[in-house]
Amino acid sequence: MRADLTYAIGDIHGCAGALSRLLARIDTHRSGAARRLVFLGDYIDRGPDSAGVIATLRALQVAEPDRVTCLMGNHESMMLDAYRGGFGTTSWLENGGRATLRSFGTPDPQALPRDALAWISALPTVWEDARRYYVHAGFRPGRPGIDPDPETHLWIREPFLSADYDFGRHVVHGHTPQRSGRPDLRAHRTNLDTACVYGATLTAGVFTDAQGPPVEILQVPAEV
């Protein structure tokens, strides 16, 4: 039997069909090995079925609470702010929030299902294992270890992307879409957002205890 594997999945953005196909691909790939799933945030907005994506992830967590980790992304954070009636409501609606509302069958952020909102509000912004840090957007470079600022976890691009700083463990993230459909593989970080909602691919990085960077990449095409 193969060693335990960790599969980290990049930004889904309402692409429930691609998520279903990638999960099937992962089940075939692991060939009976134990596996952990780490989802890097941005489950909602822009794509056709944000409600379906959230339902799938919640069901996975219920079935395997110790084997499935879901992180918060900046789009989940914007959704919560819109529910609260915050100043960012218009920004959320203009950045894919309307598609999310349609998938839940309501035009009103305050009518979103409470159980889904409660699940989202409890999501962590970072997770770690022995060799990697997992986060939606990244950390501020300059100091090893996990950045203590949750807003940075959700939103940072620069200087994180250009510094390629060594945080002491490999950083696995999403947030910045790679329109080429290929992950951005660097010495100290891996970006798994491969622009599925823009018609490219949905990606899972395959990780082991042997090294920080992925040992393999699994991909499925965008919605078909």
- Domain coordinates of the chain in residue numbers? 13-29+37-152+168-221
In the CATH scheme, what is the homologous superfamily, with its name and number, of domain 13-29+37-152+168-221?
Metallo-dependent phosphatases (3.60.21.10)
CA distance 49 to 25: 20
Instruction: Print pLDDT tens along the chain (224 aa).
Output: 456 899 999 999 999 999 999 999 999 999 998 999 999 999 999 999 999 999 999 999 999 999 999 999 999 999 999 999 988 899 999 999 999 999 999 999 999 999 999 999 999 999 999 999 999 999 999 999 999 999 999 999 999 999 989 999 999 999 999 999 999 999 999 999 999 999 999 999 999 999 999 999 999 999 75
Residue 132 backbone dihedrals phi, psi, to 5 degrees: -140, 155
CA distance 80 to 42: 13
Spacing of C-alpha 79 from chain mean position: 15
For the chain, the farthest-separated pair of C-alpha atoms sits apart, in whole angstroms, at 52
CA distance 190 to 170: 8
pLDDT by residue (tens digit) across 56-104?
A: 999 999 999 999 999 999 999 999 999 999 888 999 999 999 999 999 9
CA distance 48 to 46: 7
Residue 195: CB atoms within 10 A of its CB come to: 21
